[in-house]
Amino acid sequence: MEIEEKNHIKKIRSSQACIKDGYQLYTANFRRIFRHTWALAIIFALITATASALPVLVSPTLVLPAFLLEVLSVILFLWTANRLLHKRQFLQPIEEAGINGWIRHLGMVILVGIVCLLIVSVLTLFTALPTIIMMAANWESQIGVIGGDPVGMPSYVTWLSIGAFLIAGFLQAYVWLTVICPFHLVHASIACQEKDRKEFNKKNYEKKNLIH
């Protein structure tokens, strides 16, 4: 997100402020984000639609591979989107906080992560509702065929299912993108706190040297 005032991003925030400001940052710049990530979202939708189709349209035994494919696609999507937003200068570069810095503020990271995942879960439930319905209908049809039902589902339902999976995957791409802004502010806050801590330690060290 293109921010004119650097101090608006690079400042110390609480966990609650990172979440609140992060989601406000996302919604305020959604049009810009969409303009530069729609192609990536389509790729994500194709992969997740494939993952959804495997256990539904191919074989129920493919649930685990489908789940792993979806998890991997989410991780790669968020990593690629984050790099893209930095490259397009929508996200400001932040000084590295270091591993020790992240560990010192692990409670903040976990809290923000839990809240963001809860929000993503709720939003995903709504965006994936048509997909869930199609999955349930296809599975019920397969169970009926196994039980001796000769009818099954009409042929057009397969294409309808694929369409539902693609639309749901595209919407879920922007649901997952909501976690980037809060964690960007978490990174900025940790970096600022680590910078202040180093400066404080440096001043104390200089004072001790002057005394001795």
pTM: 0.81
Task: List average pLDDT for each run of 10 residues in the chain, which is 212 residues long.
Answer: 53 88 92 92 94 80 87 95 89 78 87 94 84 71 61 67 88 94 90 77 62 56
Residue of 158, 129, 168, 127 lying closest to 45 (CA atoms):
168
For tokens 């999507």, name the residue.
77
What's the pLDDT score for residue 11?
A: 79
Q: Which residue has the tokens 């649930």?
A: 63
